[in-house]
Amino acid sequence: MAKIICVLYDDPVDGYPKTYARDGLPKIDHYPGGQTFPSPKAIDFQPGTLLGSVSGELGLRKYVESLGHTFVVTADKDGPDSVFEKELHDAEIVISQPFWPAYLTAERITKASRLKLALTAGIGSDHVDLQAAINRGITVAEVTYCNSISVSEHVVMMILGLVRNYIPSYQWVVKGGWNIADCVARSYDVEGMHVGTVAAGRIGLAVLRRLKPFDMYLHYHDRHRLPDTVEKELNVTWHDTVEDMVKVCDVVTINCPLHPETENLFNEKMLSKMKRGAYLVNTARGKICDRDAVARALESGQLAGYAGDVWFPQPAPKDHPWRTMPHHGMTPHISGTSLSAQARYAAGTREILECWFEGRPIREEYLIVDGGKLAGAGAHSYSTGNATAGSEEAERFKNDLR
Ligand code: NDP
């Protein structure tokens, strides 16, 4: 029988919810483009409830225990004394989420001598040292598409929030003020601006589609070009390099995975090529941007605003400069874990586990690493190598709280 460790974020500070703001979720039956929703044989949860936190258990306990497996659920993931590290040595499966990543570094993979499957309940498996997983023959899978639309909505919200100066204006209201001039001295319309996405995959393309009705000029850079019909429909301009694209954009949104090719892509040099006063929105991964270079660009005015929900490491230490830099609109890593998204990734996680335990193949589009090489979605979108280095710093958040 297998041992499964499932690392999830903590419950709300006021306790696991007893009621919800809404009574259910809208009915949607497939993703744009036709990919079908997760299709497990059954689910043991109510869609629209909190599944991604420790008490939600992704709705998996009943199923996993009915097969006789051991199911350990914890939020305690960082440092040698953590539950995760203590339980890892004999685990066959690790389930983790990018929002609260259980970093599976090469050292941890070495300790986890029985580990066979690293399953991401979400999208983005950069918290796993993919090179180490390749070397050890560990399968890495994620629930491709489960929250891509959720993130694209967040990106649009953040672009509008930054450009229109929403957060500072909201804060004037809360402070009891009516300071119109203070609010609008940094407020613009997006209409007529040029917006570019780094990567036009599921999220990037959805962002472009959502911004088109705002009468913005659309741009993208990707390793593979969109079909001609899509380029024409959106009237979107492809750029051969990121540098070429950022030069002409007022707003840039990053939507590629983190892998060795994209790590630190937005460094001092790339930021200096952007238009003065551009806005940068990164909901992809924190490590794609140079932490200190972003803070400096905001201070100097090279960037007019930065927003996103991804940091490195996660959780971010209390003294992380992105918490306090000027003109930012950061949130914790939440864009892909709305209650709507949770229902899809919990079902997708169940589907992958059912395949694993029944010896059926996992959907090709869910695979990142399999059989000692990048596979499925991973072979298309990632490059080999490791992007988890430095994640031990996440332990500092724990220490901050002591
Ligand atoms: P997709 O796989 O659909 O899209 C990824 C795109 O990135 C592909 O088009 C790929 O190009 C492109 N890409 C990869 N490397 C490069 C590169 N070096 N330069 C330019 N483009 C590149 O994934 P999604 O759109 O669903 O998700 C993208 C990423 O967003 C995830 O990997 C994850 O990191 C992040 N994410 C964040 C979430 C959050 O909650 N904040 C939730 C979900 C995802 P091609 O395949 O053409 O080579």
- For residues 311 and 333, the answer to whether their CB atoms sit within 8 Å is yes
Cα(347)–Cα(246) distance, integer angstroms = 38
Tell me the average pLDDT of the chain.
96
H-helix or E-strand spanning residue 184: helix 180-184
| Best probe residue, ligand 1, of 205, 256, 384 (max atoms within 8 Å of C-beta) | 256
Amino acid residing at 226 = L
Å from CA of 204 to ligand 1 middle: 8
Mean pLDDT of 135-145: 98
Q: What percent of the chain clears pLDDT 70, i.e. is strictly above it? A: 100
| Best probe residue, ligand 1, of 128, 203, 262, 363 (max atoms within 8 Å of C-beta) | 203
Give the confidence band of 401 by pLDDT, cuts at 50, 70, 90.
low
Q: Which CATH architecture has domain 3-146+337-375+383-390?
A: 3-Layer(aba) Sandwich (3.40)
> Beta-carbon neighbour count of residue 88 at 10 Å?
22
Q: Residue 327's pLDDT is what?
A: 98
Q: What angle do CA 169, 215, 219 make, to 5 degrees?
A: 100
Q: Residue 392's pLDDT is what?
A: 85
Cα(334)–Cα(99) distance, integer angstroms = 7
**Catalytic residue status for 333:** yes
Does the pLDDT of residue 16 top 70, yes or no? yes
Lowest mean pLDDT among 38-42, 45-49, 364-368, 383-387: 383-387
Query: Ligand 1, atom 14: nearest CA belongs to which residue?
Result: 381
Ramachandran area for residue 145 (φ above 0: left; ψ -120 to 50: alpha; else beta): left
Q: What burial class does residue 8 get, using C-beta atoms within 10 Å of its C-beta: 0-12 exposed, 13-18 middle, 19+ buried? A: buried
- Residue 22: phi, psi to the nearest 5? -130, 165
| Best probe residue, ligand 1, of 120, 126, 223 (max atoms within 8 Å of C-beta) | 223
Index of the ligand 1 atom closest to the CA of residue 383:
15
Å from CA of 257 to ligand 1 middle: 4
- Report the DSSP beta bridge partners of residue 128: 104
Å from CA of 182 to ligand 1 middle: 37
**Catalytic residue status for 22:** no
Domain boundaries, the chain: 3-146+337-375+383-390, 148-323
**Does 148-323 match 3-146+337-375+383-390 at the fold level?**
yes
Q: Where are the beta strands (DSSP E) in 248-326?
A: 251-254, 278-282, 303-308
Does the pLDDT of residue 398 top 90, yes or no? no
Index of the ligand 1 atom closest to the CA of residue 380:
46
The secondary structure of residue 326, as a DSSP letter, is T
Annotation: CATH topology of 148-323: Rossmann fold (3.40.50)
Query: Ligand 1, atom 9: nearest CA belongs to which residue?
Result: 201
Mean pLDDT of 128-151: 97
The secondary structure of residue 197, as a DSSP letter, is E
Q: What is the pLDDT of residues 196-253, one digit of tens each?
A: 999 999 999 999 999 999 999 999 999 999 999 999 999 999 999 999 999 999 999 9
Does the pLDDT of residue 126 top 70, yes or no? yes
- Give me the catalytic one of 194, 285, 327, 328: 285
Rg (CA), the chain: 21
Which of 120, 163, 154 has its CA nearest to residue 334?
A: 154
Q: What is the pLDDT of residues 91-111, one digit of tens each?
A: 999 999 999 999 999 999 999
Helix (H, G, I), strand (E, B) or coil at 278: strand
Residue ranges around ligand 1 (CB below 6 Å):
122-124, 147-148, 151, 198-204, 221-224, 255-258, 261-262, 283-285, 309-310, 333, 335-336, 377, 380-381
Q: Residue 385's pLDDT is what?
A: 84
Amino acid residing at 235 = N
> Beta-carbon neighbour count of residue 69 at 10 Å?
17
| Best probe residue, ligand 1, of 222, 254, 258 (max atoms within 8 Å of C-beta) | 222
**Catalytic residue status for 209:** no
Query: Ligand 1, atom 42: nearest CA belongs to which residue?
Result: 336
Cα(270)–Cα(356) distance, integer angstroms = 43
Cα(228)–Cα(9) distance, integer angstroms = 42
**Catalytic residue status for 314:** yes
Sheet holding 251-254, edge to edge: 236-238, 217-221, 194-198, 251-254, 278-282, 303-308
- And the tokens for 37? 């929703």
Å from CA of 130 to ligand 1 middle: 16
Å from CA of 169 to ligand 1 middle: 32
Q: Where are the beta strands (DSSP E) in 175-268?
A: 194-198, 217-221, 236-238, 251-254
Q: What is the pLDDT of residues 50-79, one digit of tens each?
A: 999 999 999 999 999 999 999 999 999 999
What pTM did the predictor assign? Answer: 0.97
CA 114 to chain centre: 27
The per-residue b/e assignment along 300-324, b for 16 or more CB within 10 angstroms, e otherwise, is: eebbbbbbbbbbbbbbbbeebebee
Give the confidence band of 381 by pLDDT, cuts at 50, 70, 90.
confident
The secondary structure of residue 73, as a DSSP letter, is E
Mean pLDDT of 155-183: 98
